């Protein structure tokens, strides 16, 4: 049977949803057109030529449906539209729009296919193209998976071009000339005689003609906005003047303030509570029992915090093991346990045979649970009446929220309105909606009154659905100064089914690829090469954390490879380059060597240099880290980072995202973990969980290559190589091989 | 209880224990100062009291003695403070949630030390947490602002 035949019969776990032999069914459904949601409430004289461009008397609105959690998605989406529409995006209103099926994300599921991203053969590409089908059917208006740019790159430029040509057609008809004679500039159509007609003036005419869809995108050499080094983010001035309005800042007239406490053992019940002290506190309006906990509605957030903390609660035990010790025991017992086998997407050569003879190198690695801890705690405003539910919140999943709110309130989905707000960070946290459900529950208790619910930092950190802990065992062999056998087993609780089940109530059959994402799919050619995922039982409910599966697998795969390379007695960079089978990835490794002047020597006494590589979300990233061993601990001196995500649309923000990824990866690798006792995390605020601070931040040099054939997102791929590059550098400087994160359990940092 | 914020006098009826942060945010609707931790660990709530950087989540309103300046009062879109200019020039913010506090800390710090060394900057700015990882650009922007203040 052909490879495609085998694949079609398998059940795919595709990042967030499963198709069971469903391609044909899906194609049928996916061919149905989705109506343009902007047409629903258009006034006379207004035009919505595509779902992304709305023109009204007071100006142009660009719809940017991928949520901005700090990564700059609004700016890049607006620039993609504006590039073809011929407007200055600064002059437009930028709006996430109302959630709608038209805004499904065609790219977010693409790398869930069982092909490594560097495989761009016909079968792999065909399967990727199918992934838009479930994305459309499941209404995946999701921001995540570093998919905004790949999803938007053509779609939003097309939206701008269609709108431009349609406006030109309207002008052509009005002036009695041919559309081909017209030009556009700065929001105006220019007639052959030099007369200018503003787009706003043409809106009423444009609304009456069929959109011109036969358009050609401009060549990148003609771009005015994209790819320019002087690009400025549209939200920068607001964010530097305190005037950006995040969800937590939003105000609805007449709103009250609230907070909640839920069982610290997530999913456990509230057995009983005594709120008599809270009820007597100033400003408290109502005590409301909610699912798994209790909330307080008050006239000020701080008063709500004080009151909710004054409630005496008796909790049932959380529905999972009580302590980290028990959890890691379960994870360790699951590795290489055939009863826990989940999937094996890489099995080359004869690994079992090779490991039966000669000297086997074996090592066990561990990574902890991690909180997302964006600086803006979870919050939502909800107002529920008998005919509508309105929600204002920063979120990556507006349609899931709409559907859930409809269930909770008994209203139709069309009666639920989700107004997406800018987010003060997310890192995956805002792929969840427990806090929104709580806000809706509270709002149902005071119908007609808007309720702004805010989690305290302590509630946020202890009710984060964390990055799963994992254990990995590597076994390998070297021969003739080469890595010969690489066998990696990873055990982790399932992530995607856990998350999707929480959001939809639907269970997902089949394997969970996230267990080995970032290790099975690396572009190396090793004679005997195997990666196996073992699925530990569900424990703490878990979620996606910036770079998802690759956040841990990047560490496991690269550090164990580093161990084998050292055992082979060869140069860490040279051997990675020798093993690499993907041209773009090899170039990334070679370039990071040039940048760091890697010549195989140690950089000096008490100093060490480590290299690491991980391809995630299709983006090869190599990092070299230099450290110094001081009397007080390890100092990270410098990070060199080379990335190939295809053409860079905003070089300034691109560099910022790579800086952020490196710092996020390093800070957590050094300093952060959630440990559990009595079913709850012991770290409940930033004194115990801080990632990286400025004094520990190294100098970071970033270089972008564009040898890769596809355009990719860069929000996440900078993260995975940071932890292994640091651990490998510490080994080079000290001889100490640390196989457990955070590294500060074993070594100090300055 | 009376207080002056960004040059405007206000009177609020709250208990003296309420932190200044929540008086500003929920009583006066001044939302530039952010809630991040409530225990002076993140610095997102930083404001100036008579020009000095203070964590407003830890200052009870009853203990307030001085005039309050928030990020909104430091500079505006039309009249930016030199630190805000530097932040925009270096495109520092990502999510931006910590940046009100970062800018207020930097402005107060540069008021007392306009020729900071790299170590001075690390010491002064490490109490402000950024989860997005904007630190390299914070360093660069503080240096730019210092240079501008010195006319160099």
Residues A259-294 pLDDT 10s:
999 999 999 999 999 999 999 999 999 999 999 999
Assigned domain for A323 exists: no
- Residues of chain A in contact with residue B134, where contact means CB-CB under 8 angstroms, are 656, 659-660
* Residues B67 and B6 occupy one common structural domain: yes
Contact A248 B35 (CB under 8 A): yes
Contact of A456 with chain B, judged by CB distance below 8 Å, is answered with yes
Map residue A542 onto helix, strand or coil.
coil
Contact by Cβ (8 Å): B13, B22: no
Provide mean pLDDT across the span A152-180: 93
* Residues B38 and B60 occupy one common structural domain: yes
Contact by Cβ (8 Å): A186, A86: yes
Contact A660 B94 (CB under 8 A): yes
- Residue A3 pLDDT > 60: no
- Residue A123 pLDDT > 90: no
Q: Quick one: what percent of chain A has pLDDT higher than 70? A: 92
* Residues A432 and A478 occupy one common structural domain: no
Question: Hey, which bits of A51-176 come out as E strands?
Answer: 53-56, 59-63, 93-95
Least confident of A323-337, A589-603, B49-63: A589-603
Of B74, B102, B132, which residue is a domain's last? B74
d(CA A71, CA A656): 9
Domain count, chain A: 3
Candidates A238, A239, A663; nearest CB to B135: A663
- Residue with the larger pLDDT of the pair A650 and A109: A650
* Residues A217 and A76 occupy one common structural domain: yes
Across chain A, which distance is largest between two alpha carbons, in Å? 85
* Residues B26 and B48 occupy one common structural domain: yes
- Residues of chain A in contact with residue B35, where contact means CB-CB under 8 angstroms, are 248, 301, 377, 454, 457
Order of strands across the sheet that contains A183-185:
A183-185, A188-190, A196-198
Candidates A233, A457, A661; nearest CB to B38: A457
- CATH number for the domain spanning B104: value is 1.10.150.120
pTM to 2 decimals? 0.94
Distance from CA of B26 to the nearest CA of A (A): 6
Distance from CA of A718 to the nearest CA of B (A): 12
Q: Identify the CA nearest to A718 among candidates A624, A623, A598, A588.
A: A623
Task: Using CA coordinates, name the residue in chain A closest to B95.
Answer: A70
Domain extent, residue B105, equals 82-149
Map residue A539 onto helix, strand or coil.
coil
Candidates A236, A239, A693; nearest CB to B126: A693
Contact A70 B138 (CB under 8 A): no
CB atoms within 10 A of CB A341: 15
Contact A375 B94 (CB under 8 A): no
Residue in A90, A229, A233, A239 to test binding to B, most B beta-carbons within 10 Å: A239
Map residue A31 onto helix, strand or coil.
helix
* Residues B68 and B118 occupy one common structural domain: no
Assigned domain for A499 exists: yes
* Residues A9 and A38 occupy one common structural domain: yes
- CATH number for the domain spanning B46: value is 3.10.20.30
Q: Which two tokens stand for residue A258?
A: 């609230």
- Beta pairing partners, B11: B2
Contact of A247 with chain B, judged by CB distance below 8 Å, is answered with no
A563-570 LR contacts (CB < 8 Å, sep 24+): A563/A361, A563/A363, A563/A474, A563/A476, A563/A737, A564/A361, A564/A476, A564/A477, A564/A478, A564/A483, A564/A486, A565/A483, A566/A731, A567/A361, A567/A478, A568/A478, A568/A481, A568/A482, A568/A483, A569/A481, A570/A481, A570/A482
d(CA A320, CA A540): 6
- Residue A204 pLDDT > 90: no
- Residues of chain A in contact with residue B38, where contact means CB-CB under 8 angstroms, are 305, 456-457, 685
pLDDT band at A33 (very low <50, low <70, confident <90, very high): low
Helix (H) or strand (E) holding A301: helix A301-309
Q: Identify the CA nearest to A396 among candidates A52, A65, A711, A109.
A: A65
Q: Which two tokens stand for residue A672?
A: 């952060």
* Residues B100 and B144 occupy one common structural domain: yes
* Residues A567 and A498 occupy one common structural domain: yes
* Residues B69 and B91 occupy one common structural domain: no
Helix (H) or strand (E) holding A364: strand A361-367
Of A454, A478, A508, which residue is a domain's last? A454
How do residues A667-704 score in pLDDT, each as one tens digit? 999 999 999 999 999 999 999 998 999 999 999 999 99
Of A401, A427, A454, which residue is a domain's last? A454
Q: Which two tokens stand for residue A234?
A: 């549209």
Distance from CA of A628 to the nearest CA of B (A): 17
Burial label for A405, CB within 10 Å (0-12, 13-18, 19+), is buried
Task: Using CA coordinates, name the residue in chain A closest to B76.
Answer: A241
Contact of A239 with chain B, judged by CB distance below 8 Å, is answered with yes
Assigned domain for A239 exists: no
* Residues A205 and A340 occupy one common structural domain: no
Contact B93 A236 (CB under 8 A): yes
* Residues A538 and A643 occupy one common structural domain: yes
ipTM (interface predicted TM): 0.98
Interface of A with B in 373-432 (CB under 8 A): 373-377, 423-427
- Residue with the larger pLDDT of the pair A120 and A500: A500
When the pLDDT of each residue in chain B is averaged and rounded to a whole number, the result is: 97
In this predicted structure, what is the pLDDT of residue A145? 77
H-type helices in A425-495, by residue range? 434-445, 457-462
Of A426, A454, A482, which residue is a domain's last? A454
Map residue A626 onto helix, strand or coil.
strand
pLDDT band at A138 (very low <50, low <70, confident <90, very high): low
* Torsion region of A242: left, alpha or beta (phi above 0 gives left; psi -120 to 50 gives alpha): left
- Residue with the larger pLDDT of the pair A104 and A133: A104
* Residues B55 and B96 occupy one common structural domain: no
* Residues B9 and B48 occupy one common structural domain: yes
In this predicted structure, what is the pLDDT of residue A7? 33
pLDDT band at A203 (very low <50, low <70, confident <90, very high): confident
Assigned domain for A433 exists: yes
* Residues B96 and B60 occupy one common structural domain: no
* Residues A445 and A573 occupy one common structural domain: no
- Residues of chain A in contact with residue B33, where contact means CB-CB under 8 angstroms, are 242
Q: Which two tokens stand for residue A491?
A: 């055990």
Contact by Cβ (8 Å): A129, A109: no
* Residues B59 and B91 occupy one common structural domain: no
Map residue A410 onto helix, strand or coil.
coil
* Residues A390 and A286 occupy one common structural domain: yes
HSE at residue A222, side-chain half, CA atoms within 13 A, is 7
Domain extent, residue A388, equals 248-318+378-454
Of B29, B46, B74, which residue is a domain's last? B74
* Residues A448 and A518 occupy one common structural domain: no
Task: Using CA coordinates, name the residue in chain B closest to A697.
Answer: B135
* Residues A21 and A144 occupy one common structural domain: yes
Contact B95 A377 (CB under 8 A): no
* Residues B19 and B49 occupy one common structural domain: yes
Task: Using CA coordinates, name the residue in chain B closest to A659.
Answer: B133
Contact by Cβ (8 Å): A451, A494: no
* Residues A209 and A267 occupy one common structural domain: no
- Residue A105 pLDDT > 60: yes
Candidates B36, B88, B132; nearest CB to A457: B36
- Residue A188 pLDDT > 60: yes
In this predicted structure, what is the pLDDT of residue A111? 66
Dihedral (CA of A572, A576, A578, A579) sign:
positive
- Residue A31 pLDDT > 80: no
In this predicted structure, what is the pLDDT of residue A675? 98
pLDDT band at A116 (very low <50, low <70, confident <90, very high): confident
Distance from CA of B99 to the nearest CA of A (A): 6
Of B16, B44, B74, which residue is a domain's last? B74
Candidates A241, A425, A694; nearest CB to B97: A425
Domain count, chain B: 2
Q: Which two tokens stand for residue A109?
A: 């599921």
Assigned domain for A237 exists: no
How do residues A436-456 score in pLDDT, each as one tens digit? 999 999 999 999 999 999 999
* Residues B110 and B65 occupy one common structural domain: no
DSSP A140-204: -----TT-HHHHHHHHHHHHHHHHHHHHHHHHHHHHTS-GGG-EEETTEEE-TTS-EEEHHHHHH
When the pLDDT of each residue in chain A is averaged and rounded to a whole number, the result is: 91
Contact A376 B97 (CB under 8 A): yes
Distance from CA of B64 to the nearest CA of A (A): 17
Assigned domain for A243 exists: no
**Radius of gyration (C-alpha) of chain A in whole angstroms:** 27
- CATH number for the domain spanning A40: value is 3.30.365.10
Task: Using CA coordinates, name the residue in chain A closest to B37.
Answer: A457
Q: Which two tokens stand for residue A658?
A: 């790579």
Contact by Cβ (8 Å): A370, A548: no
Assigned domain for A421 exists: yes
Residues ≥6 apart with Cβ < 8 Å to A119? none
pLDDT band at A16 (very low <50, low <70, confident <90, very high): very low
Residues ≥6 apart with Cβ < 8 Å to A522? A116, A557, A613, A614, A615
* Residues A474 and A503 occupy one common structural domain: yes
- Beta pairing partners, A580: A524
Distance from CA of A640 to the nearest CA of B (A): 14
């Amino acid at each position: 049977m052909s490879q495609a035949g085998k694949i079609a019969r398998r059940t795919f776990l595709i990042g967030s949803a499963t198709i069971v032999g469903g391609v044909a069914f899906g194609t049928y459904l996916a061919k149905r057109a989705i109506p343009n949601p902007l047409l629903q409430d258009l006034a006379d004289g207004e035009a919505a030529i595509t779902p992304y461009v709305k023109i009204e008397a007071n100006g142009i609105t660009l719809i940017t449906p991928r949520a901005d959690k700090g990564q700059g998605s609004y700016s890049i989406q607006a620039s993609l539209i504006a590039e073809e529409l011929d407007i200055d995006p600064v002059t437009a209103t930028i709006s996430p729009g109302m959630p709608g099926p038209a805004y499904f994300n065609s790219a977010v599921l693409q790398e869930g296919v069982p092909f490594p991203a560097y495989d761009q053969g016909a079968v792999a590409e065909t399967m990727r193209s199918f992934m838009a089908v479930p994305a459309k059917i499941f209404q995946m208006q999701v921001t995540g998976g570093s998919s905004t740019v790949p999803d938007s790159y053509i779609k939003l430029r097309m939206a701008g071009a269609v709108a431009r040509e349609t406006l030109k057609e309207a002008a052509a008809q009005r002036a009695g000339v041919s559309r081909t004679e017209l030009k556009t500039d700065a929001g105006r159509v220019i007639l052959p005689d030099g007369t200018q007609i503003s787009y706003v003036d043409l809106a009423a005419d444009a609304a009456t003609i069929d959109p011109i869809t036969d358009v050609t995108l401009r060549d990148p050499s003609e771009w005015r906005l994209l790819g320019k080094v002087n690009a400025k983010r549209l939200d920068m001035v607001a964010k530097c003047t305190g005037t950006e309005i995040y969800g937590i800042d939003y105000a609805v007239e007449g709103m009250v303030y609230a907070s909640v406490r839920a069982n610290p053992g997530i999913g456990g019940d509230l057995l009983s509570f005594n709120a008599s002290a809270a009820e007597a506190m100033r400003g408290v309006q109502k005590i409301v029992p909610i699912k798994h906990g209790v909330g307080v509605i008050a006239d000020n957030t701080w008063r709500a915090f004080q009151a909710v903390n004054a409630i005496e609660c008796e909790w049932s035990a959380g529905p999972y093991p009580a302590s980290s010790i028990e959890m890691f025991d379960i994870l360790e017992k699951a590795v290489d346990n055939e009863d826990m086998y989940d999937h094996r997407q890489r099995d080359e050569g004869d690994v079992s045979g090779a490991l039966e003879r000669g000297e086997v190198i074996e090592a066990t690695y561990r990574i902890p649970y991690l909180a997302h801890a964006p600086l803006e705690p979870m919050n939502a405003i909800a107002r529920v009446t008998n005919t509508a539910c309105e929600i204002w919140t920063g979120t990556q999943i507006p349609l899931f929220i709409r559907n859930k709110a409809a269930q909770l309130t008994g209203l139709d989905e069309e009666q639920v309105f989700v107004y997406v707000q800018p987010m003060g960070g997310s890192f995956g946290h805002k792929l969840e909606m427990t806090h929104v459900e709580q806000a809706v529950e509270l709002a149902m208790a005071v119908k007609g009154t808007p309720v702004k619910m805010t989690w305290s930092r302590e509630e946020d950190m202890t009710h984060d659905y964390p990055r799963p802990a994992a254990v990995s065992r590597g076994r390998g062999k070297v021969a003739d100064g080469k890595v010969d056998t690489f066998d990696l087993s990873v055990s982790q609780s399932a992530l995607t089914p856990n998350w999707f089940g929480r959001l939809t109530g639907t269970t997902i059959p089949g394997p969970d690829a996230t267990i080995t994402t970032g290790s099975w799919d690396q572009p190396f050619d090793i004679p005997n090469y195997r990666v196996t995922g073992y699925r530990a039982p569900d424990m703490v409910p878990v979620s996606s954390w910036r770079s998802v599966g690759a956040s841990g697998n990047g560490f496991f795969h690269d550090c164990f490879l580093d161990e084998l390379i050292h055992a082979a007695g060869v140069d860490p960079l040279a051997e990675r380059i020798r093993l690499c089978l993907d041209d773009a990835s090899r170039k990334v490794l070679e370039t990071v060597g040039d940048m760091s002047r890697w010549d195989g020597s140690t950089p000096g006494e008490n100093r060490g240099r480590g290299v690491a590589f991980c391809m995630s979300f299709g983006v090869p990233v190599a990092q070299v880290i230099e450290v110094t061993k001081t009397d007080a601990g390890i100092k990270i001196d410098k990070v060199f980072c080379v990335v190939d995500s295809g053409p860079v649309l905003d070089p300034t923000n691109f560099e910022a995202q790579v800086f952020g990824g490196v710092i996020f990866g390093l800070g957590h690798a050094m300093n952060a973990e959630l440990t559990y006792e009595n079913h709850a995390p012991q770290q409940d605020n930033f004194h115990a969980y801080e990632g990286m601070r400025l004094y520990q931040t190294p100098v970071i040099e970033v270089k972008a290559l564009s040898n890769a054939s596809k355009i990719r997102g860069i929000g996440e791929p900078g993260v995975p190589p940071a932890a292994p590059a640091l651990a490998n550098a510490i080994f080079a400087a000290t001889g100490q091989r640390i196989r457990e994160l955070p590294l500060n359990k074993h070594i100090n940092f300055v | 209880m009376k207080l002056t914020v960004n040059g405007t006098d206000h009177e609020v009826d709250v208990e003296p224990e309420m932190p200044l942060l929540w008086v500003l945010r929920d009583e006066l609707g001044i939302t530039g100062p952010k809630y991040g931790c409530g225990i002076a660990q993140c610095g997102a709530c930083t404001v100036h009291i008579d020009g000095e950087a203070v964590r407003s989540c830890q200052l009870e309103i009853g203990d307030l003695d001085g005039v309050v300046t928030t990020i909104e009062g430091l500079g505006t879109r039309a009249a930016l403070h030199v630190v805000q200019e530097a932040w925009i020039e270096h495109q520092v913010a990502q999510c931006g949630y910590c940046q009100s506090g970062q800018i207020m800390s930097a402005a107060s710090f540069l008021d007392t030390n306009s020729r900071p060394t790299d170590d001075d900057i690390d010491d002064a700015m490490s109490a402000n947490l950024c989860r997005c990882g904007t630190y390299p650009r914070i360093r660069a922007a503080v240096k730019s602002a210092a240079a501008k203040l010195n006319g160099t």
